Amino acid sequence: MKNHFNEVEILLVEDNLSDAELITRALRKVNLANHLVHVKDGEEALDFIFATGPFTGREKENIPKVILLDIKMPKVDGIEVLRQIKANSETKRIPVVIMTSSKEEQDIIRSYELGVNSFVVKPVEFNDFAKAVSELGLYWVLINQPPA
């Protein structure tokens, strides 16, 4: 039985519901929101990625083409989610883009040490934010060539 969780292209991990809505709308404008799954915290993200908890039964082989990950979240923060993704042989090649309002140098350094593929500071201005999200989505879903 196939469900929409097995056709995910973009996993959005964002606890701020207005940011999540802006991101979804920006991706919808460039036709990239059809296979988007939004989870609200790091714990839910790990459950989705590793097919545990409420996502038990999801086919783990159907991994997202890209994960858009916030850093500052309840339960499990984005740095820990990134660490677990990159430490696992089945998930370490999934591109992870951190999208955060944090400009803290330690967050940037730690993210790259753990293997993040891109670190983007969310623009404050709505149009800039929407444009950045659209460009990120187009690049990681349509242009980037992942290993087979």
CATH dotted code for 4-134: 3.40.50.2300
The pLDDT of residue 4 = 52
Q: Any residues with CB less than 8 A from the CB of 129 and at least 6 apart, and which?
A: 22, 26, 122, 123
pLDDT score recorded for residue 79: 96
pLDDT by residue (tens digit) across 99-135? 888 788 999 999 999 999 999 888 778 788 888 888 8
Is the backbone of residue 11 left (phi > 0), alpha (psi -120 to 50) or beta? beta
What pLDDT shows up at residue 7? 65
Spell out the domain ranges in the chain.
4-134
Measure Cα distances from 41 to 45, 77, 89, 142, 147 in Å. Answer: 6, 8, 23, 26, 28
Residue range 34-51: mean pLDDT, rounded: 94
Provide φ and ψ at 14, rounded to 5°: -150, 120
In the predicted model, is pLDDT for residue 9 greater than 60? yes
